[in-house]
Amino acid sequence: MMSKEEMKSRKEKVFADAKNGYDRVSEAELTEMESYCAAYRDYLDRGKTERLCVRRTVELAQAAGFVPYRRGMALCPGDKVYSINRGKGVMLAVIGRKSLGEGCQITASHIDSPRLDIKPVPLYEEGEMAYCKTHYYGGIRKYQWVTIPLELRGVVAMKDGTLTEVALGEGDEPKFVITDLLPHLGAEQGKKPLNEAFPGENLNVLLGSRPVGKEGESDRVKLHVMEKLYEKYGMTEADFTSAELEIVPAGTSTELGLDGSLLGAYGHDDRVCGFAALKAMLDLSDIPAKTAVCVLADKEEIGSMGVTGMQSAAFDTFMGDLCESQSVPLRVCYENSFCLSTDVTAAYDPGFADVYDKRNAARINYGLGLCKYTGARGKAGASDAGAETVAYVRRILDEGGVVWQIGEMGKVDAGGGGTVAQYMANRNIATLDAGVPVLSMHAPFEVVSKLDCYMTYKGCKAVYEAE
Ligand code: MN
Ligand code: MN
C-alpha cells in the first residue's frame, strides 16, 4: 500500500498546484501590496473619465522622467517617451537595449469605463423639475444606475476652439440622481424582465427643481439650471452639441471587508489593469532588453472603434515613428513583439455559481487571471492565443514570482466578452489576455482583490523586463 507521504509526492509531481495567493506571498510582499493599492486608489479617484486618466498618467510619467514624443526625435536605450491620442488615450515607451527589430514587450489596457453619456440635446423640464437625457456607454445593467449619487464630468468644446472642463458633484458639491419607482407603485414594473424594466430612454438625470422668474412662465427650472451652467462654464444649451459629458458614480474608492482585503470603486474595468501596466513601466529601474510599450486606449467598452480606440492607426503611427528612428520596418517589429492584453476578467461569484465553470473560473486572490481566449459560444470573436505564447507567459510569470491563474469568462454558452487582444493580434503581434478578476463587473461599484491588483502589476513588470 502507498504511504500518505508517497501519495502526496506523487500528486505533487503531476497535479496542478492551485493555491490561494495569501498562501504563496511573503509578509514583505503584502506590505508592498498595500502601498501599491493606495497608489492605485489615488489614480482611480482622480481618473473618473478617460481624459482624467490620461491627465494623471502624464503627470505620473513626467515625474518619472518621461517626455512627450516628437516625430523624428533621436531615441537611445533608456529614453522614456509618451504620446497622447486626442486627450483620451496615451502610449508610453521605454526604449530597450535591443533593436526594435527584435520586437517590443507591449501591454494594452483601456481607460474608458461604462457610464452614461449626455445626449447632444439633453435638457428638458417636466413636472417642474429639470432633467438631462443620457445615452449609456458600454454594457451596463441599467437598474444599477438608478437611485445612486452621480457626478457629471467631461468637457465642452466651444466654437472658438477653447475646451472647458466640467466637474460637478465632486466632494461636498450637490450630486445628481436618476429616480426610480417606489415599491408601492412598482407592481407592473416588477413583472418585467430585469433588462426591460429600466429602458435606456428612461435614464434621465435629475438636475434641479427650483424655478426662476414669475409664475406662469414656462421652463423656469430648466432656465435656472441652464443659467447655472452658463455662470460656471460660459456654456449655452447649444454647446451641448460639442460636448463630451459623462455621468459617473459619485464618491471615491474604498476598502471592503472586515479584513480590508478588497477594493470597491467605479471604473476598475479597466483602470485596474491600466494602472498596473503604467506603474510597472514607471518602476522599471534598469533599461529593459526590448522596448517596453504601455498602451492605455479609449473606446474598448464600445468595440475599440474610432480614432482613440485600439483599432485606430494611432498606435501604428506611434510604433511606426519609433521604428523609423531605428530604420526598422514596423512589420518586423510587430512580428517579433509580444502583447499582454491586460483587461479584467470575471471573478467566480459563489452567489451566481451557475454561470461559471468552477474549474475554469478566475478566483479572487488567486492572482493575475490569464485567458487563452475570450469570445462567446464556440470562441466566436476570440483572439485565441497560441499554446507557445501561453507557455512563454507562464515562464515569464513564474520566473518573476507572479501569482497567476488561468480561466474562462463564465460557462460555455453562458455569454462572453472581448478585449483589445484581437486588434493587437490582427497586427501580427502574439497576444495573450490577462487581467484582474472582478466581482460585479460593469456595475457602478465594482470589486477586486488587492492581491490580484498587485500581482497584475508584477505580471506587467515581468513582461516588460523579459529578455
Ligand atoms: Mn475591460
Ligand atoms: Mn468592460
* Separation in Å, CA 15 to CA 34, 150, 395, 405, 452: 32, 49, 18, 14, 23
For residues 102 and 119, state if they share a domain: no
CATH number of the domain residue 358 falls in = 3.40.630.10
Q: Within the chain, what is the greatest distance between any pair of CA atoms?
A: 96
For residues 99 and 186, state if they share a domain: no
Note the ligand closest to the C-alpha atom of 114. 2
Note the ligand closest to the C-alpha atom of 302. 2
- Kindly give the distance from the C-alpha atom of residue 336 to the centroid of ligand 2, in angstroms, as a whole number: 28
- Kindly give the distance from the C-alpha atom of residue 137 to the centroid of ligand 2, in angstroms, as a whole number: 10
- Kindly give the distance from the C-alpha atom of residue 198 to the centroid of ligand 1, in angstroms, as a whole number: 24
Bond from prior residue into 270 cis (ω within 30 degrees of 0): yes
Whether 199 is covered by a domain: the verdict is: yes
Nearest to 274 by CA among 196, 340, 342: 342
Note the ligand closest to the C-alpha atom of 274. 1
CA 115 to CA 171: how far, in whole Å? Answer: 19
pLDDT 10s digit of each residue in the chain, 467 long?
789 999 999 999 999 888 999 999 999 999 999 999 999 999 999 999 999 999 999 999 999 999 999 999 999 999 999 999 999 999 999 999 999 999 999 999 999 999 999 999 999 999 999 999 999 999 999 999 999 999 999 999 999 999 999 999 999 999 999 999 999 999 999 999 999 999 999 999 999 999 999 999 999 999 999 999 999 999 999 999 999 999 999 999 999 999 999 999 999 999 999 999 999 999 999 999 999 999 999 999 999 999 999 999 999 999 999 999 999 999 999 999 999 999 999 999 999 999 999 999 999 999 999 999 998 999 998 899 999 999 999 999 999 999 999 999 989 988 888 899 999 999 999 999 999 999 999 999 999 999 999 999 999 999 999 98
Note the ligand closest to the C-alpha atom of 344. 1
For residues 40 and 183, state if they share a domain: no
State the pLDDT at residue 2: 84
First to last CA, the chain: 48
For residues 240 and 270, state if they share a domain: no
Number of domains making up the chain: 2
CATH number of the domain residue 241 falls in = 2.30.250.10
For residues 349 and 286, state if they share a domain: yes
User: Under a CB-based contact definition with an 8 Å cutoff, are residues 77 and 96 in contact?
Assistant: yes
DSSP labels, 210-268: ---S-TT-SSHHHHHHHHHHHHHH---GGGGGGEEEEEEE-S--EEESTT--EEEES-H
Q: What are phi and psi of 307, to 5 degrees?
A: -70, -20
- Kindly give the distance from the C-alpha atom of residue 417 to the centroid of ligand 1, in angstroms, as a whole number: 9
For residues 271 and 236, state if they share a domain: no
For residues 77 and 135, state if they share a domain: no
Whether 5 is covered by a domain: the verdict is: no
Nearest to 311 by CA among 416, 385, 422: 422
Amino acid identity of residue 101, one-letter, is: G
Whether 258 is covered by a domain: the verdict is: no
pTM: 0.97
Amino acid identity of residue 6, one-letter, is: E
For cell 413583472, name the residue. Answer: 191
Whether 8 is covered by a domain: the verdict is: no
Amino acid identity of residue 405, one-letter, is: Q
For residues 109 and 133, state if they share a domain: no
**Domain region containing 242:** 115-249
Whether 365 is covered by a domain: the verdict is: yes
Whether 219 is covered by a domain: the verdict is: yes
